[in-house]
Amino acid sequence: MDYNKMCPKYEAAMDLLGKKWTGLIIRVLLGGSKRFKDIKTQIPEMSDRILTERIKELEEHDVVERSVFPEKPVRIEYTLTSKGKDLAPVIEAIQGWGDKWM
């Protein structure tokens, strides 16, 4: 790997994953499908507006999938796609680093 020049793919990945709250949302969803309020319960400091924004970004990048269940009331759940699940080793590595150094 050449660390002497920036890779555009790495830069694009960091643009998405480096946004505040995004890594936390992915970590929550690694535990399985969640409703909006369940994500909020695990990350209470994040505003509804930001959660909505981040989920939409993750959907646009095919990291998160939104499922609508036609019940009364309507139930909406968010799940990691296979692309999102591939982030598990990255999130686990960050958790390991945090456990060691933070």
Model confidence pLDDT, tens digit, residues 38-50: 999 999 999 999 9
> Which two structure tokens, joined as six digits, stand for 74?
């309507």
Q: What is the pLDDT of residues 19-63, one digit of tens each?
A: 999 999 999 999 999 999 999 999 999 999 999 999 999 999 999
H or E segment to which residue 84 belongs: helix 82-85
pTM of the model: 0.92
CA proximity to 26, closest of 39, 15, 37:
39
Write down the CATH number for the domain with range 8-101. Answer: 1.10.10.10
